[in-house]
Amino acid sequence: MSTGKRAGSRRSTPPPRTINKTALFLGAAMTFCVIAWGYLVYAAIDFGTAARGGSGGSAWLFMALASLGAIACLFIGLLLIARLMRALGITSPPPSDAPSEPRPVGGKRAAR
């Protein structure tokens, strides 16, 4: 270890870690959607069993509504997973479709 006027650690102290509030919110919403999906799947199975047993037409309706709700919860949960990945920096946004240079009038042949 050297001594002198400029002798010291070359590493600075690491910055304090902060909580990513967006990622925390997305994670909580995703967890809620997955739990709701599981409950709705269980309810759809229960209503389907009751409907096949002869409980009437309302059980079929409730089974259909629970199935549609489960589909919606799973879809929203998958969308939230994609947003959580972007918030954590695991994935990057897609490149923009806007070209960097304006297109020549008439296309490539006219530009020759």
- Residue 46 CA to residue 32 CA, distance in Å, equals 21
Domain assignment of residue 71, yes or no: yes
Domain assignment of residue 41, yes or no: yes
112 vs 44, higher pLDDT: 44
Query: Into how many domains does the chain fold?
Result: 1
Closest CA to 70 of 32, 44, 49, 51: 44
Amino acid 55 reads: S
Amino acid 35 reads: I
Query: What is this structure's pTM?
Result: 0.68
**Predicted local confidence at residue 93, as pLDDT:** 80
16 vs 5, higher pLDDT: 16
| 26-30, 75-79, 93-97: least confident range | 93-97
Domain assignment of residue 8, yes or no: no
- Residue 36 CA to residue 74 CA, distance in Å, equals 9
21 vs 12, higher pLDDT: 21
Q: How confident is the model at residue 98 (pLDDT cuts 50, 70, 90)?
A: low
Q: Tens digits of per-residue pLDDT, 16-60?
A: 888 889 999 999 999 999 999 999 999 999 999 998 888 778 889
**Predicted local confidence at residue 4, as pLDDT:** 66
Domain assignment of residue 20, yes or no: no
Domain assignment of residue 16, yes or no: no
Q: Residue 53 is part of which domain span?
A: 34-88
Domain assignment of residue 49, yes or no: yes
- Residue 70 CA to residue 53 CA, distance in Å, equals 22
